[in-house]
Structure 1
Amino acid sequence: MTRPSDTYRWIVVASAAAMLAIVMGQLVNGLSVFFIPLEQEFGWSRGSIALINTVGLIGVALGGIVMGRVADRAGIRLVCLVAAMAVGLGVGGAAFADQLWQFYLLFFLAGALGAGALFGPVIAAVGGWFPAGAGLAIGIASAGQAIGQGGVPFVAAYLIEALGWRGALLALGGVSLTALVPLALAMREPPPVRPMAGRATAARQTPTGLTPHRTLFTLSLAVMLCCTCMAVPLIHLVPLIQGYCIPAPEAGGVLFAMLIAAIAGRVAFGKLADVIGPVGAYLAASLWQTVGVFAFTLIRDLPMFYLFAPIYGFGYAGVMTGVLVTARALVPADRRAMHMGIILAFGWLGHALGGYQGGLFFDLTGGYTVSFANAAAVGVLNLMVVGSLLLRVRRQAALAAA
């Protein structure tokens, strides 16, 4: 088999970033600008609407485990094509829904067969093209998600004003189908790695001294906690700002500014992971996120939101890059595909939990203070888990050097 040119790996990175922008922008927090239109038309509670996003993320979690194994057998291109169809038809189909259960079903399927099928296999493919310097490559690819998480709500807010919420969903579904299919066809499997002596033994070693199962448990717990924290501003920042009588396009603009800064953050923390190690970069980003998340509830005017959101966004964005490069570094190579799917599944479950509790406590208290305080508290728990993991990695490294 002819080895593709090394330049093609950057085409894979660019295609991965674009697909993650379109898919994850809709499934992670694209619903945020639809809260108030759905609330006004149907009279549903904020918690019930947030549950649409939660159910979609549960689909992402379950789909990531199942479709990761499918990708190992069927190939990355076929999986990406399935994801393109699922997201385009699921989001577009939601334009015709008028019952909550219909939204729940459509977003679950779009999550399971779309985002869940795409995220883990695409990141694994990018990492496979870069035996060295994978942190930077993964940071660039995952930056696409940040672009989408800011760009999709921003564009959707204007689409809602121009076309109504049904027209906006239909437009998003059509754009997804049109853009994702050619991007999926551009994906290609990484070149095979020639087996080396001792490779089988090295594949089962971890730099923590923990067993693979305990490493998996620790990373899954950390990812669930950090994603529970980050979900609250991603899902509820726009309605929080709208609560101060600020129109949806301006509120969406704050989220867009935050996630534009997140593009640079993802790349920067990917490079930082190559320099100081993945766990250290993950801890630094988690600390940034935890310290900043509650501050959103202390701001009341639009200029201050625009000032603070990019500062928060740059640091919070490094969390996902840290998760991905840490998992790649600590999971044994011969179990990486399966374990990566499980770890990411807990991350999406954390997103689902954080987004839902944000809406639930808004309904209970009439404001977002408790919701964002919960996010900060969970962030502190995550710092404890990641901090203990970093200490263990450094201790193991010292023992190996002795």
Structure 2
Amino acid sequence: MDARYGWVVVGAVALTLAVAMGQLVNGLSVFFIPLEQEFGWARGSVALINSAGLVGLAIGGVAMGGLADRFGAPTVALAAAAVVGACVAAAAGLDQLWQFYLVFFLAGLAGAGLFAPPLALVGAWFPAGAGLAIGIASAGQAVGQGGVPFATAFLIEAVGWRGALLSQGVLSLLLMVPATLLMQAPPRPAPGVAAVVEPPPPLPPLLVTAWLSAAVLMCCTCMAVPLMHLVPLIQGHDIAAPDASGVLFAMLIAAIAGRIAFGKLADVVGPMPAWMIASLWQTLGVLAFTGIHELSHFYVFAPVYGFGYAGVMTSVLVTARALTPARRRATLMGVILGWAWLGHGLGGFQGGWFYDVTGDYLVSFANAAGAGLLNLLLVGTLFLTVRRRGRALAA
């Protein structure tokens, strides 16, 4: 198989990330008010639907990573695509809160097979310059996280929230299943041809996994708040849902460029410095959303924030790749990203809960900034530890 086929894999992974993560990470943000209006559920309770899906992603990340190391990422991704599409379509017929929790938990459990294993597969195709390839693939998630809520806002207005969920589920199956069939493992080196040998990780894998897990828990707690609550925050200023979703879409369109740019930056300056730059950008910017009141101002600020915050996940992925051994990479990345999804669930839930308690989003977004500061502390100390360890090995 030609080495250039790796770019086909990149495109297939980008498409599945767009469809799956656009629905599971923050796609429910445009369903907050429709579900409140129909069932009278509190915003924290509705946010917990999304959190249930993210807990599923977290638990599934561990299981799917292990299955991918054993059976291969393409097989795991195909099964995951079928389950995610079926669960989203089934949600159209639900009318009890616990049913939403269960169905989205199952969707997340399966959806984990569309994240860490395919991204580890992308890294396997690109032993050199993996940062750019992973950045392009992960940019698909930014496309979905902006495009899915934006399109769904119009679908809800046209066919109601039930029709929107059914449409999403059917389209998910039509798009993701064929895309997963394009995901193929890279060819093994021919006899007599030396394989590219990666340098050994500078720290023990279990220590790296624990350290990165704590860091991503904090950075994704920060990240989740604007992703889940920016649309209802804007709607609170008497701005229509399609316009509010348009701001999120603009933010995540900028995030496409940010993911690619930070992937290239990680190749140039290293993944952890790139992660620290993106994290500082995100932490400084997140609280500013609560000081904006005009739609035009949201449209100006959101893309600036989006470009920088988007570099966080690309840098996380490249850092995890650099610090974990190849033979266990899908498993360990699954564990690390599992904590990332827990952070998303925690951030989204606390955002809704503190809104219900205070009637305002200020505390929710301030908590996000605090979590961002803790992430910066963890990543900075890891970077210094790895650098000292590298010097000791070279001595």
- Structure 1 position 193, deviation (Å): 5.3
Paired position in structure 2 for 1:167:
163
- Structure 1 position 211, deviation (Å): 2.6
Paired position in structure 2 for 1:221:
214
Paired position in structure 2 for 1:145:
141
Residues 198/32 of structure 1: CA separation in 2 closer, same or farther (3 Å cut): closer
Structure 1 counterpart of 2:338, one-letter code: A
- Structure 1 position 401, deviation (Å): 4.4
Paired position in structure 1 for 2:12:
15
TM-score, normalised relative to structure 2 = 0.97
Counterpart of 2:184 in 1: which secondary structure?
A: coil
CA contact (8 A) 2:64 2:331 kept: no
- Greater Cα shift, 119-128 or 80-89: 80-89
Structure 1 position 378 matched with structure 2 position 371: yes
- Structure 1 position 212, deviation (Å): 2.2
Structure 1 position 95 matched with structure 2 position 105: no
- Structure 1 position 306, deviation (Å): 0.2
| In 2: Cα distance, 1:25 partner to 1:332 partner | 30
| In 1: Cα distance, 2:206 partner to 2:32 partner | 40
Residue 251 of structure 2, aligned match among 252, 258, 265: 258
Give CA-to-partner distance per residue, 1:230-282, whole Å, 9 cap, x none. Answer: 00000000000000010000000000000000000000000000000011101
Unaligned stretches of 5+ in structure 2? none
Residue 177 of structure 1, aligned match among 163, 173, 179: 173
Counterpart of 2:293 in 1: which secondary structure?
A: coil
Residue 46 of structure 1, aligned match among 28, 43, 48: 43
Give CA-to-partner distance per residue, 1:93-126, whole Å, 9 cap, x none. Answer: 111000001111110111101x211101110110
Structure 1 position 354 matched with structure 2 position 347: yes
| In 1: Cα distance, 2:257 partner to 2:17 partner | 16
Residue 201 of structure 2, aligned match among 206, 217, 234: 206
Residue 304 of structure 1, aligned match among 275, 297, 311: 297
- Structure 1 position 74, deviation (Å): 2.6
Paired position in structure 2 for 1:289:
282
Paired position in structure 2 for 1:79:
76
Paired position in structure 2 for 1:243:
236
Paired position in structure 2 for 1:58:
55
- Greater Cα shift, 255-264 or 71-80: 71-80
Structure 1 position 363 matched with structure 2 position 356: yes
CA contact (8 A) 2:189 2:195 kept: no
| In 1: Cα distance, 2:31 partner to 2:196 partner | 54
- Structure 1 position 72, deviation (Å): 2.4
| In 2: Cα distance, 1:373 partner to 1:262 partner | 22
| In 1: Cα distance, 2:319 partner to 2:173 partner | 33
Paired position in structure 2 for 1:108:
105
Paired position in structure 2 for 1:119:
115
Structure 2 counterpart of 1:206, one-letter code: P
- Structure 1 position 400, deviation (Å): 4.0
Give CA-to-partner distance per residue, 1:335-354, whole Å, 9 cap, x none. Answer: 32221111010000000100
| In 1: Cα distance, 2:31 partner to 2:262 partner | 31
| In 1: Cα distance, 2:11 partner to 2:196 partner | 34
- Greater Cα shift, 75-84 or 315-324: 75-84
Paired position in structure 2 for 1:69:
66
Give CA-to-partner distance per residue, 1:201-243, whole Å, 9 cap, x none. Answer: x77x322xx3322211111100111000000000000000000
- Greater Cα shift, 177-186 or 332-341: 332-341
Counterpart of 1:132 in 2: which secondary structure?
A: coil
Structure 2 counterpart of 1:185, one-letter code: L
Residues 62/193 of structure 1: CA separation in 2 closer, same or farther (3 Å cut): farther
Structure 1 counterpart of 2:128, one-letter code: A
| In 2: Cα distance, 1:122 partner to 1:130 partner | 13
| In 1: Cα distance, 2:319 partner to 2:196 partner | 23
- Structure 1 position 79, deviation (Å): 1.6
Structure 1 position 343 matched with structure 2 position 336: yes
| In 2: Cα distance, 1:388 partner to 1:187 partner | 36
| In 2: Cα distance, 1:393 partner to 1:80 partner | 33
Structure 2 counterpart of 1:331, one-letter code: T
Residues 13/96 of structure 1: CA separation in 2 closer, same or farther (3 Å cut): same
| RMSD of Structure 2 on Structure 1 (CA) | 1.5
Question: How many residues in Structure 1 have an aligned counterpart in Structure 2?
Answer: 393
Unaligned stretches of 5+ in structure 1? none
| In 1: Cα distance, 2:196 partner to 2:261 partner | 34
| In 2: Cα distance, 1:238 partner to 1:303 partner | 14
Paired position in structure 1 for 2:262:
269
| In 2: Cα distance, 1:193 partner to 1:26 partner | 38
| In 2: Cα distance, 1:216 partner to 1:63 partner | 16
